[in-house]
Structure 1
Amino acid sequence: MTAEHTIQNDIRVALSAAGCTIIRTNTGTVKTEDGRLFSAGPPKGWPDLTGFRKSDGKMVLIEVKNEHGRLRKEQQRFAEMVSKLPVLYGVAQSVDDALKIIEMK
């Protein structure tokens, strides 16, 4: 089974070569010095990769899953919401899947 971070890195390299700027969306929770928890990053459900297609500036949002991965409830809600917007969104399990996403109109 291929690790999702490996698939993410392969996709980032391929989409950069295909004329996109793509960044990995980092999230996490840290404890402050006074003991409070601080959540960093976008809201739950936000895709793993964010960027834009340089040819027209269209936003690119890609959720990366390995061959056994499934969308969590928050990710499903995000997919439903973003399907109504003029962005390039999809779930990719491979570089080929991601390239198909950025070829959408």
Structure 2
Amino acid sequence: MTSEHKIQNDIRIALSRHQCTVFRVNVGSVKTPDGRFFSAGVPSGHADLYGFRWSDRQIFYIEVKTPTGRPRKDQIAFHERMTELGVIHGIARSPEDAIKIVDEGLVGYGFKQ
């Protein structure tokens, strides 16, 4: 099975070639010198990729999953908020899914309603 990381990289390349600008979201935890941990990056549940179409500068969010991957509760909460706002977003399990989401301006593609 193809890893989520490979699918994500393939999606980034495909969307970049499809006249989109795409950003990968980086997150992680950092330990401070006094031993505390803090999370760096976007809030929990934020999509893996985001960007915009060059044609109309429309923003989109892409959650990357393997063919059998399932969204976590925090990812579903992010999806629900994006749906309320009418923002283009969805789960992509392949570059073709991502292009479909972006080209068709889909809201919530791949999430079970």
- TM-score by length of structure 2 reads 0.89
Asked if residue 23 in structure 1 is aligned to residue 23 in structure 2, the reply is yes
C-alpha distance in 1, partners of 2:87/2:11?
18
1:56 and 2:56 aligned: yes
Question: Structure 2 CA distance, aligned partners of 1:66 and 1:84?
Answer: 26
| Matched AA of 1:62 | I
Count of residue correspondences: 105
Shift of 1:87: 2.3
CA distance in 2, matches of 1:88, 1:37: 33
Q: Which deviations, in whole Å up to 9, do the C-alpha atoms of 1:49-100 show, x marking residues without a partner?
A: 0111111111110000001100000111111110122422010000110010
* SS of equivalent residue, structure 1 residue 103: helix
Give yes or no for the alignment of 1:83 onto 2:71.
Answer: no
In structure 2, the residue corresponding to 1:46 is in which secondary structure? coil
RMSD across aligned positions (CA): 1.0
Q: Distance in 1 between matches of 2:46 and 2:55?
A: 24
TM-score (norm 1): 0.95
Deviation digits for residues 27-56 of structure 1, max 9, x if unmatched?
110101121112001111100001111111
SS of 1:84's equivalent?
helix
> Corresponding residue for 2:100?
100
**Structure 1, unaligned runs of 5 or more:** none
Q: Identify which of structures 1 and 2 has the higher relative contact order when contacts are C-alpha pairs closer than 8 Å and 6+ apart.
A: 1
DSSP-derived class of the 2:84 partner: coil
Give the AA of the match of 2:17: A
The residue number in structure 1 matching 2:2 is: 2
| Structure 2, gaps ≥5 residues long | 106-113
Residue identity opposite 1:97 in structure 2: D
* Secondary structure of 2:52 counterpart: strand
Paired-residue identity, %? 54
